[in-house]
Amino acid sequence: MAQKFPRDRFDSIPHGIDRVGAHRAPARRGAGWIVIAWGALATVVLVAAGIGGVMLFNDRLNFGNPPVASPSAEPVVTAEPVIAPDVPVLVLNGTSTAGLAAKAAETLVANGVPVGSTANASENTLTETVVYYVAPELEGAARGVAQFLPEADVRVSEQFAATGNQLVVVLGSDYADATAAG
């Protein structure tokens, strides 16, 4: 059986106050935002600590001295530049300079390098000139082509193998600048 207590001042709640009692004062305005701010701060601190910990354990964060590259004992062997009369070169213009591929083709032909064709590259904002070769045995021929093109780099790539081109010159703005100055 339920015991009934006499009515006291806590049984009648005044209008406008939801809570009554010694420990039930009305909540302050903005108290919810303080909880959210502390939660956001804790989240940021925990995420930063987690990222730092992962970087530290994966050796991507090093507080010691930076590693010093030791000189290699053997120099890198590169092929001697040669002219391959049986391997025609495709010359692509990777800049917005009109006629640059034809100008480079004229230079190559004048030096004995066979040029198969010239065209515009798929991009016209390339900055560096590269002679691509598709097989290691063509490195010497690629270096032979590169010696006649200022600023040219030589790289192996199978990107052009599907087109049937074994040597491809892609002209960049460095070549355009070098020929304009000279």
- What are the tens digits of pLDDT across the range 62-85? 556 655 666 655 655 677 888 888
Query: At residue 48, does pLDDT exceed 90?
Result: yes
Tell me the mean pLDDT in the region 110-127. 90
Write down the pTM of the prediction: 0.57
Give tens-digit pLDDT for 159-170.
877 778 889 999
Q: What per-residue confidence (pLDDT) applies to 177?
A: 79
Q: What is the DSSP string of the chain?
A: ----PPP-TTSSPPTT-S--STT-PPPPTTHHHHHHHHHHHHHHHHHHHHHHHHHHHTT----SPPP-PPPPSSPPP-PPP---TTS-EEEEE-SS-TTHHHHHHHHHHHTT--EEEEEE-S-S---S-EEEESSGGGHHHHHHHHTTSTT-EEEE-STTGGGT-SEEEEE-HHHHHHHHH-
Q: Which segment, 6-10, 30-34, 39-43, is predicted with the most confidence on average?
A: 39-43
Between 131 and 8, the more confident residue is: 131
Q: What per-residue confidence (pLDDT) applies to 21?
A: 56
Query: At residue 13, does pLDDT exceed 70?
Result: no
pLDDT confidence tier of residue 25, bands split at 50, 70 and 90: low
